[in-house]
Copies of this chain bind each other. A is one copy, B any other.
Amino acid sequence: MTAKALRYYETVGLLPEPDRTASGYRDYPETVLDRLRFIRAAQAVGLTLGEIRGVIAFREAGRPPCAHVLELIEGRAADLDTRIVELAALRDELRRLDERGRTLSPDACSPGLVCHILNPAAH
């Protein structure tokens, strides 16, 4: 959490504009710490700053964002399920390619194809 990040959060609407000292320095209230802890916690579970802003907007509209947060959490969990399956399939394909590649002789690898492990000769 750098000073730069705080300014960025301010520009994207995650932090309210703080009061300024007489010389123009930002004078944050203590309460910003809770806000920042929320942002960190939300980021840690994979929410984007845009989603986090949406949650904060609920709160600033005076309503508890809990139901919305649960939706986001469930949506993200479902996304992850999908993503994990995709990545596992890719990993399995990589392992198969590796197994097969080990049985191939580099001497038989055609320059034009770059590498026959990834680019087998067209049938």
User: What residues of chain A have their CB less than 8 Å away from a CB belonging to chain B?
Assistant: 31, 34-35, 37-38, 41-42, 45-46, 55-56, 59, 64-67, 69-70, 73-74, 76-77, 80-81, 83-84, 87-88, 90-91, 93-95, 97-98, 101-102, 104, 106-107, 109, 111-119, 122
B84 touches A118 (CB 8 A): no
How many copies the complex holds: the figure is 2
Chain A interface main SS type: helix
Contacts of A119 in B (CB 8 A): 34, 37-38, 41-42
Give Cα A35 to B115, complex, Å: 10
- B residues near A122, Cβ cutoff 8 Å: 37
Residues of B within 8 Å of A37, CB to CB, are 113, 119, 122
